Amino acid sequence: MYSSNVIRMLETDSDTDLIAAVKGGNQRAFGEIVRRYEGIVASTTISMLGPGSEAEDAGQETMIKLYKSLDLFKGQSKLSTYVNRIAINTSLDSLRRRKKQMSRFFSMTDDEGTKWDNYIASDSDQGRDFELRQAIGKAMTSLKPEFRAVAVLRLIQGFSTREVADMLGIEKGTVLSRLSRAKAQLADGLREDFGND
C-alpha cells in the first residue's frame, strides 16, 4: 500500500519524473499517468470512432501500448503529444479493421447515429444547439480516417499544425491540406443536415 503522502507526491510530479518512476518499476506512477491522460485519450478515440465499446477498447489499448513503449519515449515531445499519437494510430487501426469486417469504409447506422446524439448533446442543449451538435457529429463520422485524424487533433484537441504533423508523421503542408478538405467536407455535411439558415 502507498501512503497518502506518496500518492500526493505522484500527483505533483512532472511527466518526466513519473516516466522515470515507471521505468524503475513503480506501478503507481503509471496509474498517475493514466489518470492525467485518460480524458484526452477518451476524447480522441470517441471523436475518431464514435462512443461505445470500440472507442473504450481503443482507449485501453492506447494505455497498454503507452506502458509498453515508455522505454522508447525520449522526451523530445510532450507526453500528451506522444499519448495522442498512440490514440490516433490505435483508432486508425480500429477503423481499418472495421473497414475489412464491413467490406466498406464506414456507414453510420441509426444505432450509431443515436450513440453520437447521446455523446454530442448534453442535458442543457435545446433546440438549434442540439440539432447543430447532431449534425456536427454526423459530419465528423463521415470523414475519411486521414481527414478525421487531422480534424480531431487540430479542431477538437487544439494541437498546433506542427504538433499534428509530428503526431501523424506527415508534413505541415499535408496537415493544412487535409484540414482544409476536412473543413470543406464538414461544411458540406452541415449544409445537408442542418440547412443554410
pLDDT of 36: 94
What value does the mean pLDDT take over residues 3-20?
69
Task: Record the cell numbers describing residue 60, joined without a space.
Answer: 485501453
3-class state of residue 11 by DSSP: helix
Average pLDDT over residues 101-130: 42
Residue 66 reports pLDDT greater than 90: yes
Q: Which pLDDT score, from 0 to 100, does residue 187 have?
A: 82
Q: Tell me how far apart the terminal alpha carbons of the chain are, to the nearest angstrom.
A: 60
Q: Which tens digits make up the pLDDT trace of 141-160?
A: 888 989 999 988 888 888 88
pLDDT at 110: 36
Q: What is the arithmetic mean of pLDDT over 22-37?
A: 92
Mean pLDDT, the chain, rounded, equals 78
Q: Which has the closest alpha carbon to 176: 185, 186, 164, 166? A: 164
Rounded Cα gap, residues 5 and 22, in angstroms? 18
Q: How many helices (H) and strands (E) does the chain have?
A: 10, 0
The arithmetic mean of pLDDT across residues 30-41, rounded, is 94
The CATH code of the domain at 4-194 is 1.10.1740.10
pTM for this entry:
0.64
How many Cβ atoms from other residues are within 10 Å of residue 92's Cβ? 18
For residue 114, give the C-alpha cell: 443515436
Residue 1 predicted with pLDDT over 90? no
- Treating both helix axes as pointing N-terminal to C-terminal, what angle do 127-141 and 110-120 enclose, rounded to 10 degrees? 130
